[in-house]
């Protein structure tokens, strides 16, 4: 006969003497071997231990089902990652060299040359777009894996690194001293929290570098935000307000 609802309820609520089945089985075997008279007089004591062991087994089943669903999720995500394959051989170096050769001639460019500048610039953008899309897809799958992990973890306090778990960090992290002024600071912190940028910590006394997921890299104190172009920039190289006019539709 299968497990009844009452059995399941009893299994969920039954307190046990030991923390696991192994300890329970050990005690069953010990009682039978060392106290056979007592067992014969009160067999229900061993029977209760058997029920405790079975209750523990039943309590493990739902968790195993959760792990099996987690396994299926991970397998699907691994297959999606495999489908991405190796990165295509896209290089903007040659287009960059041609573009520099055009604009560094020290004269007014002809209409044909200006058109060539646009072509080479778009070739560089094309490589960037391809890489950005690949980065976003990797991030999407990584986030899905993170969600699957958090779901299987639930409210359990899992510790991946016990040394780190025992270390308490008080106050702000040291790199906070290098943050730019407001309002750039707040925008930058949102990017860090969202995982759209991360810090490369430097040696003592040197500012950290901020690396954006799209490839940009700036000293943390020099990072600025422009509402006009809706982008970050280095403080010593502010963008032109008309930059967005040259953003072609994707």
DSSP string, 116-178: HHHHHHHHHHHHHHHHHHHHHHHHHHHHHHHHHHHHHHTT----S-HHHHT----SS-GGGGG
Supply the pLDDT for residue 168: 40
pLDDT class of 202 with cuts at 50, 70, 90 = confident
Supply the pLDDT for residue 14: 79
Supply the pLDDT for residue 246: 83
Supply the pLDDT for residue 164: 47
pLDDT class of 4 with cuts at 50, 70, 90 = low
Supply the pLDDT for residue 3: 59
Check residues 107 and 173 and name the one with the higher pLDDT. 107
Q: Which two tokens stand for residue 87?
A: 């990165």
Task: Answer yes or no: are the C-beta atoms of 66 and 152 closer than 8 Å.
Answer: yes
Which pTM does this prediction carry? 0.73
Q: Phi and psi of 90, rounded to 5°?
A: -110, 125
What digits encode the pLDDT tens for the residues 9-47? Answer: 566 677 888 889 999 999 999 999 999 999 999 999 999
| Centroid of chain to Cα 114 | 43
Length of the chain in terms of residues written: 250
What digits encode the pLDDT tens for the residues 71-127? Answer: 999 999 999 999 998 877 778 999 999 999 999 999 999 999 999 999 999 999 999
Supply the pLDDT for residue 15: 83
Supply the pLDDT for residue 77: 97
User: Residue 176 above 50 pLDDT?
Assistant: yes
């Amino acid at each position: 006969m299968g497990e009844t609802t009452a059995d399941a309820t009893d299994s969920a609520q039954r307190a046990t003497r030991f923390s696991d089945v192994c300890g329970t089985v050990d005690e069953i075997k010990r009682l039978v071997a060392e106290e056979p008279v007592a067992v014969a007089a009160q067999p229900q004591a061993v029977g209760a231990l058997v029920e405790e062991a079975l209750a523990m087994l039943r309590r493990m089943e739902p968790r195993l089902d959760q792990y099996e669903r987690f396994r299926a999720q991970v397998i699907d995500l691994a297959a999606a990652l495999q489908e991405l394959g190796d990165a295509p051989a896209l290089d903007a170096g040659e287009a960059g060299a041609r573009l520099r050769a055009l604009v560094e001639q020290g004269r007014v460019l002809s209409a044909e040359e200006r058109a060539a500048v646009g072509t080479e610039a778009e070739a560089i953008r094309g490589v960037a777009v391809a890489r950005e899309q690949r980065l976003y897809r990797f991030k999407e799958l990584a986030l899905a894996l993170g969600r699957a992990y958090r779901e299987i973890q639930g409210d359990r306090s899992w510790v991946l690194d016990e040394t780190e778990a025992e270390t308490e960090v008080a106050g702000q992290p040291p790199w906070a001293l290098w943050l730019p002024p407001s309002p750039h600071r707040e925008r930058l912190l949102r990017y860090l929290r969202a995982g759209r940028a991360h810090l490369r910590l430097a040696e003592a006394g040197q500012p950290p570098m901020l690396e954006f997921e799209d490839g940009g890299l700036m000293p943390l104190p020099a990072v600025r935000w422009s509402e006009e172009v809706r982008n970050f920039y280095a403080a010593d190289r502010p963008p032109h307000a008309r930059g967005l006019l040259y953003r072609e539709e994707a």
